[in-house]
Amino acid sequence: MRYLTIALAKGRLAKTTMKYLKEIGISCPEMEDPDTRKLVFVNDELGLKFFLSKPSDVPTFVEYGAADLGVVGRDTILEENRKLYEVLDLGVGKCRMCVCGPAEAAERLKHHELIRVATKYPAIARDYFYNRKHQTVEIIKLNGSVELAPIVGLADVIVDIVETGGTLRENGLDVLEVITELSAKVVVNQVSMKMEQDRISDIITRLREVVRAHSK
């Protein structure tokens, strides 16, 4: 039997995913050891391999078939725009991609005027402003603490993920526009889906049941 390889986005999402997988009888004891320094975890019995990667790299690993399946947030999928099958919504990690800024910036979003946008997601921001709002913007790519940008005057608004909005409010920022809803997705390599159809479909079908049970 060939190994199926599953790429997980490091962090909370990986833990939730493993919990869901456990409910359908897929586990990986190697992974549960908190002190492990391994990069790839194997379950020989089930013919499965797991690895953790930076979330933004999960779509890349899956597109090239280095991983057959992956679990990652929809924000990353949209930003990376890779050739993938997006087969299942896990219904966890729910949040929204928003345009945020000080309340007075709302006016500047209405008149197609040139504004500066800071974001970790330049592709999403560009698609939203150019193709949906038809507004010309200057996009500044940042790698973290995006909320800083409008506060210190680097940008007029930001495009970022909003979960509860707590950080925003504390810093005097508001959600100005919602771009899209986000949650965690299971993605599959397009070749693997066909070459290993039986095993992958089986995992997806059973996961779907688990997701349904949890969402009730």
Partner 1 sequence: MQQLLHTPDGVRDYYGEEYARKLMLCDKIRETFRLYGYQDIMTPVFEYFDIFNAERGTIPSRHMYKLFDRDGETLVLRPDFTPAIARCASKYFADTALPIRLSYLGNTYVNTLGYRGQLKETTQAGAELVGEASVEGNAEVLAMIIDLFRAVGLTEFQIEVGDVRYFKGLLKEAGISDDVRAQLRTCIENKNHFGLEEILEENHIEGQLARVLTRLPHLFGSPEEILEEAEKLTSNTVALRATQRLKRLCACLKEYGVSKYITLDLGMLGLHEYYTGIIFKGYTYGTGDHIVTGGRYDHLLEQFGREAPSIGFGINVDILQQALTSQHIPMQGRRPAVLIMFDSSRFAEAAVKARELRSQKIPVHMLRMKGMDAAGIQNYIHENHVVCTLEYAGGRTDIVQKGEVPVCDI
CA–CA gap between residue 136 and residue 109 (Å, rounded): 10
> Among residues 16, 3, 48, which one has the least CA distance to residue 185?
16
136 residue type, one letter: T
Q: Which residues in this chain contact partner 1 in the complex, by CB under 8 A?
A: 2, 63-66, 83-89, 185, 188-195, 197
Minimum CB–partner distance for residue 55 and partner 1 (Å): 18
The CA distance from 1 to 110, in Å, is: 58
| Type of residue at 164 | T
Pairwise CA distance, residues 141 & 122, whole Å: 6
Between 90 and 125, CB nearer to partner 1: 90
**What minimum distance in Å lies between the beta carbon of 96 and partner 1?**
15
CB of 72 to partner 1, least distance (A): 14
Nearer to partner 1, 17 or 150 (CB): 17
**CA 206, CA 66: separation in Å to the nearest integer?**
23
> In whole angstroms, how close is the CB of 69 to partner 1 at the nearest point?
12
Residues in a beta bridge with 116: 138
Closer CB to partner 1, 103 or 191, in the complex: 191
Q: Name the residue type at position 181.
A: E
* Nearer CB in complex with partner 1: 63/156: 63
Q: Least CB distance from residue 191 to partner 1, whole Å?
A: 5
Smallest gap from residue 157 Cβ to partner 1 (A):
26
Helices and strands counted in the chain (H then E): 9, 11
CB-based contacts of 149, cutoff 8 Å, min separation 6: 118, 140, 142, 155, 158
Give the residue with the Cβ less far from partner 1, 64 or 130.
64
3 state DSSP class of 159:
strand
> Which of 140/204 has CB closer to partner 1?
204
